[in-house]
Homo-oligomer: A and B are copies of this chain.
């Protein structure tokens, strides 16, 4: 019997800050599940982080270990997943350079994700070239690991489209399917709003709960959350839509039935915000506590983390170099 090979996932995070509950619910939690059914590569994307952080390399460096700690603390298991440091895999840079010859500047500029992010970052014409080129770098990442499944947010699907364009272009020129196309999977639970109710939880906006948050920090953040501004008395009927506390309960409360009942009760009237907030506080504290504790324990053992990174890089090098060699041979380029 031949072993059935598992589908390959590539996922990862830019190393620009420690991860938070938004990352946990949006991606980390599912990675912990997916690693049992998929061959999963998790990329510490420090090279990509530099594309808009050239002035802050220290921040990018510092957060390599922070994000690695987050990964291990949530349960990404280096025996099941391969944690790879992007900058330690030269084949990714080499493939990026190669792919940049197969994509026009105009096509990169048309990428909706790039367009939006250029606007969001206020780059205008002063966009760093590395930032414009990052769709090619992402295509290099995805294809180097031969990933067929890439979990992304809704707004990132154009990047997967562009990757597949490059894959088809290369396969056509090579004359056979050297590279597989990739499929974007988007998380079941949409983007978690910040604790202030704004659309996105983000460290830079100060509305994030990090995975190292203490019980008090969690309680205080929940305490400040918006519910229904018209729900002044517990006896009043309340609104569930746009109610940040319910959004969080939907994301974190494992007891779906209980949440459904709470919603009905709240809408009818007679359910106070404090009851909801206490419930959410307990649930978030129970979610974060074991992560925080594992994180604290691991952070005292940097040697182990470094060993895990080294092992991951070694495995990552094997697959990425192999892919690069196949493309070089397929295109008929020179090799020594």
Contact = CB atoms under 8 A, between A and B. Distances in A.
Contacts of A87: 94, 328, 333-335
A170 to B, nearest CB: 10
A24 to B, nearest CB: 23
B101 A126 contact: no
Given A105-B127, A106-B126, A173-B55, A100 B133 contact: yes
Contacts of A328: 87
A228 B71 CA distance: 78
A300 to B, nearest CB: 20
Interface stretch (A6-14, A45-53, A195-203): A45-53
A136 interface: yes
Contacts of A226: none
Interface string A53-64: 111011011001
Given A90-B93, A96-B97, A105 B85 contact: no
A131 interface: yes
Interface of A: 15, 46-47, 50-55, 57-58, 60-61, 64-65, 85, 87-88, 90-91, 93-94, 96-98, 100-106, 108, 125-133, 136-137, 173, 306, 309-310, 313, 328, 331-336
Given A65-B334, A106-B126, 8 more contacts: A46-B334, A50-B98, A51-B101, A54-B102, A87-B334, A90-B91, A100-B128, A104-B127
15 contacts: A46-B334, A50-B98, A55-B173, A57-B333, A60-B333, A60-B334, A61-B332, A64-B334, A87-B335, A88-B335, A88-B336, A100-B129, A104-B125, A104-B128, A129-B132
